[in-house]
Chain A
Amino acid sequence: MHRFANPARFMRVAERLLPWFLGLGGILLLAGLYQGLIASPADYQQHETVRIMYLHVPAAILAQGFYFGMALGSASFLIWKHPLGDLMARAMAPVGAALCFICLVTGAIWGKPTWGTYWVWDARLTSMLILLFLYFGYMALANAFDDPSRGHKPAALLAVVGVVNIPVIKFSVYFFNTLHQKSTLFAEGGPSMDPDMLLALMLMLGALGFLATAMAIIRLRGEMTVVKLRAARHGLNRHDDATQDVKHEETTR
């Protein structure tokens, strides 16, 4: 496991996987959109709006999964000082925030015809909004300092502490009286939905999962370039300083 903590080695594997993730994600997306928008039936109660589920639920699952991954990366950075953990967390944050935003917006759009309102301050919706704020807080804190290395630790701490929100989101529909329905996909005794709907949901979950991971790999490549760029600038500044010193010595001689 620690073998892959080397950023260069990890990136070599990730770069090799990237085209596969993009290809699989694209194929699954086409299949999922066909199954979700065309082939699967409308719901007898919710009618066509049930098709929002095929985007809303995968976005919700992945937004939480990405945050968990971010927290794991941050924890490995704090405990073992693995720079890759911090870089991974930085790369995953904008992707997870986008997924969380999609989950909240599609949920609000779904809520209007289903509940008669776009938004209520109930436990599930509010805890999901807090997750979005945690993502924003992480990104803001990581980039808040002139010296970027000073932002690594506080941002990693926020990511680790914020992970307590994940079980709150999961169990909010059981512990509190909410408008949001209880779990259908991970219900006791298996998923309680039509097989055609379940297939659409799984296809879209796979599609978004592969595409979001591919996007995180692209961002990880960017984060690594930022580190190299900073080191190169540092080297250039040192070189300039050294040249200035030599020139100064030559002129004073």
Chain B
Amino acid sequence: MSEGDLGSLLGGGRHAAFVWWSYAIGAATLGLLAIQSIFWSRRLKRQLAALEAAQGAPEAQETRR
């Protein structure tokens, strides 16, 4: 690796901007999908836990009765 390689890429210029845009869009796309997937999965788990608790409650009441 030469400092010239790093300098020319990080220093900007027309071609470097194309590279940065590509990686920024790639990171944003995968990052957003990862965040959406994690929150979606967690929300569903919470809903399931709430539903199971609600399902258990009437059964428990009936058993108490």
Chain A interfacial positions (CB closer than 8 Å to B): 37-42, 47-49, 51-52, 55-56, 59, 94-95, 98, 101-102, 105-106, 109-110, 112-113, 211-212, 215, 218-219, 221-222, 225-226, 228-229, 232-233, 235-236, 239, 243
Task: Please report the C-alpha to C-alpha distance between residue A210 and residue B12 in the assembled complex, in whole angstroms.
Answer: 31
For the A-B complex, the count of residue pairs with Cβ-Cβ distances under 8 Å equals 103
Closest 3 CB pairs of A and B: A222-B41, A225-B44, A48-B15
Residue in B16, B22, B47, B48 whose Cβ sees the most chain A Cβ within 10 Å? B22
Residue in B5, B19, B45 whose Cβ sees the most chain A Cβ within 10 Å? B19
A226: min CB distance to chain B, Å: 6
Task: Please report the C-alpha to C-alpha distance between residue A42 and residue B5 in the assembled complex, in whole angstroms.
Answer: 7
Give me 22 A-to-B residue pairs in the complex whose CB atoms sit less than 8 angstroms apart, sorted by A's number.
A37-B23, A38-B9, A39-B5, A42-B8, A52-B19, A52-B22, A55-B23, A56-B22, A94-B37, A102-B29, A106-B22, A106-B26, A109-B18, A109-B22, A110-B22, A112-B18, A218-B34, A218-B37, A218-B41, A222-B40, A225-B44, A232-B48
Is the pair B55, A235 in contact by a Cβ cutoff of 8 Å? yes
A224: min CB distance to chain B, Å: 9
**Contact residues in B for A225 (Cβ distance below 8 Å):** 41, 44-45, 48
Task: Please report the C-alpha to C-alpha distance between residue A239 and residue B52 in the assembled complex, in whole angstroms.
Answer: 12
Interface residues of B, count at CB 8 A: 34
